[in-house]
Structure 1
Amino acid sequence: RFDDHRYLELKGWDCEGELWFTDTKRNIHSQIYYHFYQIFTRKFVHPSERYLAVTGWGGGAFRVSKDYGKTWQLVQFSPGENEPNGDSSPPYDDIISFTVVNDQGFLQTKHSLYMSSKPFDDPRVVTGGPGIPYTASDGSVGRLEPGSAGEAWGMVYMTKRALVNSIHQFKSNYQNMPDAVPKVKNYTGWDHMRCDMDAGR
Structure 2
Amino acid sequence: MKGFCTVLTATAVLLAAGCQAKEPPTQVVYRFDDHRYLELTGWDCEGALWYTDTHRGIRTQPYSQFYRLFTRKFIHQSERYIAITSWDVSGFIVSKDYGQTWQLAQFSPSGNEPNGDNSAPREDAVSFTVVNDQGFLQTKHRLYMSSKPFDDPRVVEGGPGITYTLEDGTVQRIEPNSPGWKWGMVYLTKQGLEGKVVSHETNYQGLPDKVPEVKGYTGWDHMRCDMDKGR
Category of TM-score, reference length = shorter chain: over 0.9
Indicate if the aligned counterparts of 1:51 and 1:104 stay in contact, CA closer than 8 A. yes
- Indicate yes or no: 2:85 matched with 1:61: no
SS in 2 for 1:186: coil
SS in 1 for 2:42: strand
Which of structures 1 and 2 has the bigger CA Rg?
2
Tell me how far apart the structure 1 counterparts of residues 63 and 167 of structure 2 sit (CA, whole Å): 41
CA RMSD, aligned part only?
0.9
Indicate if the aligned counterparts of 1:97 and 1:108 stay in contact, CA closer than 8 A. yes
Aligned pairs for 1:49-128 within 5 A: 49-128=79-158
Tell me how far apart the structure 1 counterparts of residues 165 and 187 of structure 2 sit (CA, whole Å): 23
1:25 is matched with which residue? 55
SS in 2 for 1:58: coil
1:142 is matched with which residue? 172
C-alpha distance after superposition, 1:118-157 (max 9, x if no partner): 1011000000111001123454321011131222111111
Please point out which of 173, 178, 184 is paired with 2:203: 173
SS in 1 for 2:49: strand
Tell me how far apart the structure 2 counterparts of residues 97 and 137 of structure 1 sit (CA, whole Å): 37
C-alpha distance after superposition, 1:140-185 (max 9, x if no partner): 3210111312221111110000111211110011111100000011
- Indicate yes or no: 2:59 matched with 1:41: no
Tell me how far apart the structure 2 counterparts of residues 100 and 145 of structure 1 sit (CA, whole Å): 30
Structure 1: gaps of 5 or more residues: none
2:21 is matched with which residue? none
Tell me how far apart the structure 2 counterparts of residues 93 and 37 of structure 1 sit (CA, whole Å): 18
1:2 is matched with which residue? 32
TM-score between the two structures when normalised by the length of structure 1: 0.98
Tell me how far apart the structure 1 counterparts of residues 96 and 224 of structure 2 sit (CA, whole Å): 24
Tell me how far apart the structure 2 counterparts of residues 141 and 15 of structure 1 sit (CA, whole Å): 54
Go from structure 1 to structure 2 and tell me whether the alpha carbon gap of 1:196 and 1:137 turns closer, same or farther (over 3 Å shift).
Answer: farther
1:197 is matched with which residue? 227
Distance apart, 1:36 and its partner CA = 0.6
Distance apart, 1:7 and its partner CA = 0.3
Tell me how far apart the structure 2 counterparts of residues 14 and 200 of structure 1 sit (CA, whole Å): 9
TM-score between the two structures when normalised by the length of structure 2: 0.85
Structure 2: gaps of 5 or more residues: 1-30
Matched AA of 1:125: V
Tell me how far apart the structure 2 counterparts of residues 44 and 56 of structure 1 sit (CA, whole Å): 11
Indicate if the aligned counterparts of 1:149 and 1:167 stay in contact, CA closer than 8 A. no
- The percent of aligned pairs where both chains have the same amino acid is 69
Matched AA of 1:27: G
Matched AA of 1:123: P
- Indicate yes or no: 2:174 matched with 1:154: no
C-alpha distance after superposition, 1:20-54 (max 9, x if no partner): 00000000000000111100000000010000000
